[in-house]
A and B are shown apart, each in its own frame.
Chain A
C-alpha cells in the first residue's frame, strides 16, 4: 500500500481517489471535503463523482482529459481543501416497530441477548450518517449502528421485502426503497420517502447527512401514508 491519498486509474475514464484505509468519521470528513471541493471547482472534463466510505470515484471524459491531468487537478484541490467537513443536514426518519413490520426484531433480540424494547432503544440511539449509497436506487448505507446490534446477515435472503423496511447487518443500517430480496434483519418500517418523487430533489439524503430515527405507533405510521409503494 502506498501513502494516502492514493490515486488508482480505472479503465479509460475514472480515477479512484483513496483518502483513508479505515471506515470512520475521519474518512467520512475527508471524502465529503473533497466531494464538495470537486463540486465547487470542477476540473475540466469532470463528469461525475461517486463518494463512498474511504474513497471517491472521479469519472471524467477521456476525450477532454486523462488520468494524469485529473490526478493533478484533484491533488491541487486536496492541497487547498478545508479539513473540516462541509455543513450537512439532519433528517428525522420515523419508524414503526410493530412485529408484522419488523419480523426479525425478536431474532435480533435473541441473538444479542436483550429484550425487543432494548433492541428498539439501541436502534433509536444510534448516531447515523449516510456513508454512501449502493445496491439499488436510493439505498443509503447508514453508519453508526450501536455495536450491541451488530448481527451477521441471515444465511438466506428473504424475497419481496417491501420498500420502507428498516434493515440492519453488521455495522450498517438502511431503509429500503424498493421491493427487493434481502438477507439483512428487518426491524421495522418507515413511511419516509427516500425516493422523494420531487424532481428538484429526488433523493432525501445527501451522502454525509445525519439521520435520527424516531419511533411512531401504527396509527401515526398509517397516517403518514404507510410504507412507500
Chain B
C-alpha cells in the first residue's frame, strides 16, 4: 500500500479536518459542521478524482505549513485566494500539485478569502465521530483541529500528473457581496425600520468570526416589542439578533436551537461566498421570496454539478496536453486518438 506522511510544521487556529458534513443529528444538538465553503471543498476533492465529500483540511487565515516526510502524493488547493508555496515556487490560484518527501507546502492568506482546502489523492487519516470526519469546532468532536507538531498520514496515495495544473474558479458562484435572504422566521417581531435597514443598509463583518458564525457591524436591528420566543431550531444561514440589536450570521458549527429571534436567513447558495469574506468586508442583504430561493437553489445545484464534472475530468499529462494543443488546428481531432 502506498502512503505519504507529513509533519504539521505550523497550523493556525481553526485549521480542521472536514468532510462534507454530518447531517441528521441536529435533533441531538449536533450541527452538520463540514466546510465553511462547501463548493471550494468539493472542488479540491473532485479535481483529484476524489468523491466531492471526502475528508480534506480546512485552512483558516491562520495558515498551515506541511512538510512531507515520506512518500509522494498529489494534492489540490482550492478556496479563497490564498498564497501557495510548494518547495519554493507558488502557483497562482487554485491548483493540483504533487508533493514528495523533503518538500514543504505553505498556505497563507492572500488577497482575499477566509478558508482554503487541501485535498489529497488518497485517504487522509483522522478520527471519525458518527461516521464523519467533519470537525465540530467548539467540541472538537470529529477529526479535530490540526496542531503544530502533529503527524499526518495519507493512505492509498496516488500521484496524478494528468490532473496537475490550475483549477478554474467557478464563475457561476462568484459572490458580489450581496447575500440573498428569505425574511423570517421572526421578521414580524422587528420594527419596520429594522426590516428596511436589513435590506437597504450596508453591514460589515467583524472579527468575531469563527466556524459558529460571524457577528456583523451595522445598523442596530431593534425588536418591536419586549417579546422573547421559546428556544427553537435554527438553520445555518440564520441572521439572529441579540437583545442589543446586533446581528450574527450562523455558519457551519451553529447551535442547533436558540431563543434569539431571526430576522432573515441567508440562502444556501450564498453561504459559501459570505463565509469567504473577511472582517471589515462589506455585506449587503437582498430579500427574495421562498419560491425565488428554491429556484436559486436549483439553478445553483445544476451549475455546481456541471462545473464539478468539468473540473473532475483529467486534462491529460503535460505531453498529452501539448499533443492536443498541436492537433487542435489539424485534421485529426484530439479525442479520436485517445
The chain A residues found within 8 Å of chain B, CB to CB, are 8-14, 16, 22-23, 47-57, 59, 62-63, 66-68, 132-141, 178, 180, 199, 202-203, 207
Q: Is the CB of B232 within 8 A of A16?
A: yes
Given A62-B294, A135-B257, A137-B139, are A11 and B28 neighbors across the interface (CB < 8 Å)?
A: no
CA A67 to CA B267, docked complex, whole Å: 14
Question: Which residues of the partner chain B approach A68 to less than 8 Å between Cβ atoms?
Answer: 291
Supplied contacts A53-B230, A59-B235, A136-B138, 16 more A-B pairs, CB within 8 Å: A11-B182, A12-B267, A13-B268, A48-B23, A50-B26, A50-B256, A52-B232, A57-B233, A57-B235, A62-B298, A66-B290, A66-B294, A67-B291, A136-B255, A140-B29, A180-B138
Question: Which residues of the partner chain A approach B139 to less than 8 Å between Cβ atoms?
Answer: 136-137, 178
With CB as the reference atom, state the residue of chain B lying closest to A65: B294
With CB as the reference atom, state the residue of chain B lying closest to A69: B294
Q: B136 in the interface, Cβ–Cβ < 8 Å?
A: yes
Question: Which residues of the partner chain B approach A139 to less than 8 Å between Cβ atoms?
Answer: 29
Q: Is the CB of A48 within 8 A of B26?
A: yes
The chain B residues found within 8 Å of chain A, CB to CB, are 23-30, 130-131, 136, 138-139, 141, 181-182, 184-185, 230-235, 237-238, 255-258, 265-269, 290-291, 293-294, 296-298, 301
Q: Is the CB of B131 within 8 A of A199?
A: yes
CA A50 to CA B269, docked complex, whole Å: 22
CA A182 to CA B26, docked complex, whole Å: 21
Q: Is the CB of A10 within 8 A of B231?
A: no
Question: Which residues of the partner chain A approach B182 to less than 8 Å between Cβ atoms?
Answer: 9-12
- Provide a sorted-by-A list of 6 A–B residue pairs whose CB atoms are within 8 angstroms: A48-B23, A54-B232, A62-B301, A133-B257, A137-B30, A140-B29
Question: Which residues of the partner chain B approach A180 to less than 8 Å between Cβ atoms?
Answer: 138
Q: Is the CB of B231 within 8 A of A12?
A: no
Question: Which residues of the partner chain B approach A50 to less than 8 Å between Cβ atoms?
Answer: 26-27, 233, 256-257
Q: Is the CB of B28 within 8 A of A137?
A: yes
Closest CB of chain B to A195's CB: distance in Å?
Answer: 8
Question: Which residues of the partner chain A approach B294 to less than 8 Å between Cβ atoms?
Answer: 12, 62, 66-67
Question: Which residues of the partner chain B approach A133 to less than 8 Å between Cβ atoms?
Answer: 27-29, 256-257
Q: Is the CB of A10 within 8 A of B265?
A: yes
Given A11-B237, A12-B267, A63-B298, are A203 and B231 neighbors across the interface (CB < 8 Å)?
A: no
Q: Is the CB of B267 within 8 A of A48?
A: no
CA A159 to CA B27, docked complex, whole Å: 26
Q: Is the CB of A12 within 8 A of B268?
A: yes
Closest CB of chain B to A26's CB: distance in Å?
Answer: 13
Closest CB of chain B to A162's CB: distance in Å?
Answer: 14
Question: Which residues of the partner chain A approach B257 to less than 8 Å between Cβ atoms?
Answer: 50, 52, 132-135, 141
Q: Point out the residue from A12, A56, A137 that lies within 8 Å of B296, measured CB to CB.
A: A12
Closest CB of chain B to A8's CB: distance in Å?
Answer: 4
Question: Which residues of the partner chain A approach B290 to less than 8 Å between Cβ atoms?
Answer: 9, 12, 66-67
Question: Which residues of the partner chain A approach B181 to less than 8 Å between Cβ atoms?
Answer: 11
Question: Which residues of the partner chain A approach B30 to less than 8 Å between Cβ atoms?
Answer: 137-138
Given A11-B267, A11-B293, A53-B232, are A134 and B29 neighbors across the interface (CB < 8 Å)?
A: yes
Q: Is the CB of A9 within 8 A of B184?
A: yes
From A22, A50, A68, residue with most partner B Cβ within 10 Å: A50
CA A6 to CA B296, docked complex, whole Å: 25
Question: Which residues of the partner chain B approach A137 to less than 8 Å between Cβ atoms?
Answer: 25, 28-30, 136, 139, 141
Q: Point out the residue from A9, A13, A134 that lies within 8 Å of B297, measured CB to CB.
A: A13
